[in-house]
Amino acid sequence: CSRDIAVLHCNKSTALYNLGKWTEAVFSAYQSLHWDPEYVKAYYRAGHSLIMLSDSYEAISMFHKGLILLNASADRTQVADFVAGIFISVNDEQVFPPTFPPAYDYIFSARFDALTWQAVIERLAQKGKWRSCLLLLSEKKALPANLRVNQLSLKNLFETSELYGHGEKMQEVAELVKWLISIGAKVETIGVYPLHAVMRLCIK
């Protein structure tokens, strides 16, 4: 009975999120967790609603708690959603909130397999969260050696100017592109004229 009520509140949270009513969506997700603290989907709904409210501190906490509940789940898709959620929460932050380091440590101590990390990186790329990909680049030695990202498109990376600051990040961007290509991203995904994309990037 408690799980049924939790599901109803979580569904309400999803509907409110889709209507852009993020404060109400968070409240409904919390109501869901009140009825069933182990209902993982409610942590996911709360996390994404909190991102929309720019509350990265609490968003990371929600994703982290949900990820711990999933633990060694065989559902790679769900695990990848939560890991990506943690990185998306800090993608636009200049200073990481205190909830981030423990979540970050947990992610890399959990030893997720290559397929899970593939899903994480492809989700981040799809959403244009390249700063989060730079974070992963700094930890590439901790990632599985057989990691491949065959479905990743580089087009958005060459069109995203907010990533680059005033030129000080350009070397990191170059390293990111090299790394992504080395693990399977196709040069062709930059666009029809890769050289033009590179020139536009340099001008930015």
151-193 pLDDT, tens digit per residue, is: 898 888 877 755 555 555 677 888 898 999 999 998 888 877 7
Q: What is the pTM of this model?
A: 0.88
Q: Which long-range contacts (CB under 8 A, 24 or more apart) does 62-67 make?
A: 62/29, 63/89, 63/103, 64/99, 64/102, 64/103, 64/106, 66/40, 67/103, 67/106, 67/107, 67/110
Q: For the chain, which residues score pLDDT lower than 50?
A: none
Looking at residue 72, its pLDDT comes to 66
Looking at residue 12, its pLDDT comes to 96
Question: Domains along the chain?
Answer: 1-112 (1.25.40.10), 121-203 (no CATH)
Of the candidates 4, 3, 5, the residue with the CA atom closest to the CA atom of residue 38: 3
- How far, rounded to the nearest angstrom, does the alpha carbon of residue 44 sit from its chain's CA centroid? 12
Cβ neighbors of 190 (< 8 A, separation 6 or more) are: 154, 155, 158, 197, 198
